[in-house]
A and B are shown apart, each in its own frame.
Chain A
Amino acid sequence: MGEVHEHPTWAIYWKVAVVLTLITVAEVWVYYIPSFVASRLFVPVLLLMSALKFAIVVLFYMHLKYDHRLFRALFTGPLIIGMTTVVALLFLFSKLVIRAGG
């Protein structure tokens, strides 16, 4: 017995796959640019691209964009708890630090 919701079309699924592939290619490409790896932008850019891929898969392939709000809450709630835990532990173990002043 299926949930009847408006799901994306095949064409959108293919476009999403192309976008995901292009972002993955970009991720690997920047990994091989030594000057970019050495820059401060390297980690934020990689995290941004990864977050974008994550969001695209969740919204389009997992249909969270189209599904019931309850599912959104069931997913994002634990995700936020998990991500907050990761960041808190990284601060606790000095993997992330806030530097005061210049």
Chain B
Amino acid sequence: MAHPSVAAPPVVVHGHPPTTTGVDHRKVAIWTFIGSECMLFASLISTYLIYKGRSVVGPWPHEWWCRANNVTSAAGPVAGCPAADSFKPILNIPVTSASTFVLLMSSLFMVLALSAVENKDNPPPASAGWWTRLLASSRLWLLMTAIFGTGFLGFQAYEFTSFVHEGLSIRTNLFGSSFFTLTGFHGAHVTAGVLWLLTLLAIDIRRGLRPSDALLVDISALYWHFVDVVWIAIFTLVYLIR
């Protein structure tokens, strides 16, 4: 007979070893990490916002700039400025909008990959349509997420290169320093996410991801979606708000 002061053994819930919180430690760890990342990006965003508009020289994000007399104009090119000294607003909204859409779609593919792994024990019947069979392919959605993540990085590489060609580097002015630091940190996170996704894809190809592996995919998905929500904030605060 059990002693009344001895607590009952912890119950195994959700298929992971017993924990004091009842939830898997790995998931607690990723949420804690994401919480700390929130504060990291909050500091980077606040640095950008504080320095916004305080550059001594251009190029500027949303204004035209004349290097010859260091005059800016929001309406259009500075009157009387020689063409060689005239700089257009540096931010390219159409390109960034496209890259934002690509990252949003990658988040959709990520949840589809997770859903496909979770439902591997319930495969679609042979009579199911091609679309249903497609939705059940974790490899396809992991690959698509990695491709779209790489596409986002491609847009960022294009943006950074064009900025440097247009005269804005990390050393040019306060805007350049804070902009490249913020978006560069985000790009590094996306790069880490793509490598993580490719690792999962390699595991899926090698031995197949099972529903018992769903937590591994869930953790990487949380990281990927976090990278997406950070970009949602950056897109509005850096690119759209003048």
A residues apposed to B, CB below 8 Å: 1-4, 7-8, 10, 13-14, 16-17, 20-21, 24, 27-28, 31, 37, 42-43, 46-47, 49-50, 53-54, 57-58, 61-62, 68, 70-71, 74-75, 77-79, 81-83, 85-86, 89-90, 93, 95
Contacts and interface: CB of A to CB of B under 8 A. Distances in A.
A90 B115 contact: no
Contacts of A14: 108
A57 B235 CA distance: 15
Nearest to B100: A24
B104 A24 contact: yes
B157 interface: no
A interface SS class:
helix
A80 B222 CA distance: 19
Contacts of A95: 49-50, 52
A81 B43 CA distance: 11
B28 to A, nearest CB: 7
B235 A50 contact: yes
Best-surrounded residue of A1, A57, A86 (most CB of chain B within 10 A) = A1
Contacts of B63: none
A13 B226 CA distance: 16
Contact of B104 (A1, A17, A47, A50): A17
B107 interface: yes
Interface stretch (B2-10, B29-37, B80-88, B181-189): B29-37
A86 B46 contact: yes
A1 B108 contact: no
A83 B27 CA distance: 24
A89 B50 contact: yes
A57 B228 contact: yes
Contacts of B153: none
Nearest to A58: B229
Nearest to A61: B225
A21 B101 contact: yes
A64 to B, nearest CB: 9
Contact of A74 (B31, B41, B221): B31
Contact of B225 (A10, A42, A57): A57
Interface stretch (B13-21, B65-73, B160-168): B13-21
Given A1-B16, A13-B115, A57-B225, A79 B35 contact: yes
A82 B105 CA distance: 27
